[in-house]
Structure 1
Amino acid sequence: MEITVDLHADETCPAKAYLMRTRGISSGLWKRIKHSGTFAVNGVPAIAARTMLRAGDIVSYELPIVSSITPEQLPLSIVYEDNDLLVIDKPAGQLVHPTTKEAHGTVANAVLGLYTARGISLDFHPCHRLDRNTSGLLLIAKRPEVQHQIARTHTLERTYLALIEGAITPTSGTIDAPIARALPSIILRHVAPDGKPARTHYEMVWTNGEHTLLRLRLETGRTHQIRVHLAHLGYPLLGDDLYGGNTERITRHALHSTQLTLSQPCTHEGLTITAPLPEDMTEIVHHISIS
């Protein structure tokens, strides 16, 4: 990593303060930089914690990547990419991270495989989660400081499309209901007074009375948030057998990450990235519409 310091001509600033303010460096990442043994100013090795920066200085450092994820050459649908970000359209059925039982075939394996094929040394830094059977857009930072800045600034807005049975009433609104683990299960969640705050905004896109297509926007990002909130209202996602959804038309929960809106963390450009409904959900809407 190489950074040119942008300060007024007579201004100085500690390296830590400058990097945290301008590059989104977290305190944890600063410790890694400080102890990496690679910190240099204008090509000269320096002690990071004692360095004062001036206008025009060139700061450089490298961070060793310690990852247990195996790079794999797998299909990867890239929707958007720049120097800092990668956005993919994830298919339903694919895990984002490897687990102890499934160490291969995940998005993480595929992304590291992409980097390896390009001959670049980067790790896997997803900026949010998607369940295995949720399809659609996943935002990935190429460096940890970019991931931290997105989390810190809260500029990422996620929009989903979902299919439910019935005609929801009211046709738009906000579900403000805390979510907690449904113990003793380690998987199930439910609405509970002692849960973490969770807010989901929804609006009806289409309905024929028997089925409805919803657009939903997450204000928080709890595990299974949309699935739990809709089931709590009595409208579980089609195909979501975990929360009571009908599986006759689709065998996975009918939820798709359709739009990401954010401020690019380094250029501050406004980005809106979209992905259309996948085939299994499109077929349901088309079939329902003409039946």
Structure 2
Amino acid sequence: MKFIVDEVHEGLTVGEFLKARGFSGRALRRLKREGKIFLNGEKVFASAKVTSGNIVEVDLSEESKIKPSYVPINILYEDEHIIVLNKQPGVVVHPTPFCRDGTIANGVMHYLNKKGKRGGFHPVNRLDRDTSGVLVIALNQYMHGFLQAHGRIEKIYVAVVEGSVKEERGVIEEKIGRKEESLIERRVTESGKKAVTHFKVLRRLKGYTVLEVKPLTGRTHQIRVHLSHLGHPVAGDTLYGGKNDKIKRQALHCAEMSFFYPLKGTRVAFKALLPLDMLSLMEEAGDSGAVFGSLDKEKAK
């Protein structure tokens, strides 16, 4: 990645200049340690001074230690810095001590290797195993750090919940923390961390309500916990009170994700089509598909 120094930044060190361009301290330390910083084509220390018109270049390529193996991935967009997927349900995003293979990470590494490319695996957003939808993967630490710090990320989910939600729209602002007797489950608790979720009704069906959900914070299981606390658990979400007789996983889908992308110099938005199991659930409950025509038919941008 190359940057041209302007007059505003003249006199800074290379390190200071790169920090001004959004590089995190961690990313800078790695670049310095690996000798991947260049000024006008010459390898330099981060303490070197820059002047107007200089070209600062950094080598952002990474080697991942994640084992490549074939896992189907549905790519919505890709360039040298990010890959955007429509993640399928039932697949873990990142390897764990209990699940080292068969993850999205293994599949992305296999895909990159097959194309002769290198890259790290840095998820910008988190999706549970059984949640589907837009998943953005940064291929280097710089882009991951930039999007987390400066991307102003916004996410829109579609959730099918049990029962009829009374309000047409609302805000759930309840703190969320870990449930004492569980390593996985979360709950609403005053000792937890601030969590805010906006929702509005998209469609009322027989026994279900379809919601558009916008989380303003990123707590673990936030949407699932908040909707369960509202008295309307996500269909299929047995961990938080939902029934799985009509769908075998939580009916929760990240339908859209948008953020400021420095390579484009503007905000970008990516949309993921609703999966068949959620469409089938809604159709069985009386949905005609009209409300979701744009989601079903529009190609992800």
* TM bucket normalised to smaller: over 0.9
Of 256-265 and 58-67, deviating more is 58-67
| CA positional deviation for 1:290 | 6.4
Correspondence list, 1:231-242, <5 A = 231-242=228-239
User: Cα distance 1:249–1:18, how it changes in 2: closer, same or farther (>3 A)?
Assistant: same
Q: What count of residue pairs does the alignment treat as equivalent?
A: 288
Q: 2:86·2:272 contact (CA, 8 Å) conserved in 1?
A: yes
2:141 to 124, 130, 144: 144
Give the partner amino acid of 1:159. I
Shift of 1:237: 0.7
1:263-291 deviations in whole A, cap 9, x for unaligned?
Answer: 21332222121112100010111111169
CA apart distance, 1:55: 2.7
Answer whether contact 2:70 2:102 (CA < 8 A) is retained: no
Is 1:73 the counterpart of 2:66 in the alignment?
no
Mapped partners of 1:209, 1:39: distance in 2: 60
The DSSP-based 3-state class of the residue aligned with 2:109 is helix
Q: Which residue of 2 aligns with 1:285?
A: 282
Instruction: Tell me the SS of whatever aligns to 2:50.
Output: strand
- Which residues of 2 match residues 136-215 of structure 1 at below 5 A? 136-208=133-205, 210-215=207-212
* Counterpart-to-counterpart distance in 2, 1:217 and 1:165: 18
Residue 215 of structure 1, CA deviation: 0.6
Alpha carbons of 1:131 and 1:53: their partners in 2 closer, same or farther (altered >3 Å)? same
CA shift digits 1:8-54 (9 cap, x unpaired): 299332111111112x2101111111221343322323222x21112
| Cα distance change on mapping 1:157 and 1:43 into 2, 3 Å | same
> Comparing 205-214 with 38-47, which one deviates more in the overlay?
38-47
Determine what percentage of the aligned residue pairs are the same residue.
Answer: 35
Unaligned runs of 5+ in 2: 289-301
- Deviating beyond 4 angstroms after TM superposition, the runs of 4 or more aligned structure 1 residues are none
- 1:26 counterpart (2, 24, 27): 24
Say yes or no: does 1:246 pair with 2:243: yes
Alignment RMSD, CA only? Answer: 1.9
Counterpart check, 1:8 vs 2:14: no
Distance 1:289 1:145, change over 3 A: same
**Distance apart, 1:61 and its partner CA:** 3.9
Cα deviation, residue 66, structure 1: 5.5
- Provide structure 1 residue ranges, at least 5 long, that are not aligned to the other structure: none
- 1:229 matched to 2:226: yes
Counterpart code for 2:5? D
What's the TM-score, normalizing by structure 2? Answer: 0.90
**Whole-Å separation in 2 of the counterparts to 1:10 and 1:205:** 49
C-alpha separation between the residues in 1 aligned to 2:234 and 2:9?
A: 60
